[in-house]
Amino acid sequence: MKKIIIMIILISNFLYGASLTIKINNKNLLGKVHLFLYKGKQNFLKEQKAYKKINFKLTPNKTTLIIPKLSIGEYAYTVYLDENDNNKLDKNFMHIPKEPTGFSNNFKPKFKPKYDNFKFYLNNDLVQNIDLK
């Protein structure tokens, strides 16, 4: 009986997937945000090859984004506020972002982001809180 229940859960997750809820603490920031969801390490930080690209507007203080029906697996994401609406993350001469950013696991990189710091495994519905700074 236990095997049947486990199989039903696995099959339902496979068919319907899990949802990822991202709660963004954005204080007084407003504007258009770009989120890039990566499935696995292979294309991490290659925006043109992201598994999902989602653009949305921030609401005051806290914005909630729900990404439904994701298949079970390993993911990571990056988020940035496009302050000047040029559809790219502006960086300084040292490649440090000049616009507010956020990352999965609310990780704050000091140098070039490494996938292992951002990855998470999605097998059930998951909620993550991140700060956009």
pLDDT tens digits for 74-131?
999 999 999 999 999 999 998 888 999 999 999 988 777 789 999 999 999 999 999 9
Question: For residues 89 and 63, what is the distance between their CA atoms, to the nearest angstrom?
Answer: 20
Q: What sign has the CA pseudo-torsion 35, 52, 10, 66?
A: positive
91, two tokens = 């960086």
Q: Which of 75, 83, 101, 100 is nearest to 18 (CA)?
A: 75
Q: Which of 82, 128, 88, 85 is nearest to 106 (CA)?
A: 128
Q: What sign has the CA pseudo-torsion 90, 75, 20, 71?
A: positive
Query: What are the sequence ranges of the domains in the chain?
Result: 2-131
| CB contact at 8 A, 86 and 102 | no
Say whether pLDDT at 10 is over 80: no
Average pLDDT of every residue of the chain? 87
Confidence (pTM)? 0.84
Task: Check residue 14 and give its pLDDT.
Answer: 52
One of 2.30.30.100, 1.10.540.10, 2.60.40.10, 2.100.10.30 is the CATH number of 2-131, namely: 2.60.40.10
> For the residues 31-45, what does the mean pLDDT come to?
94
DSSP string, 49-90: G-SEEEEEE--SEEEEEEEEEEPSEEEEEEEEE-TT-SSS--
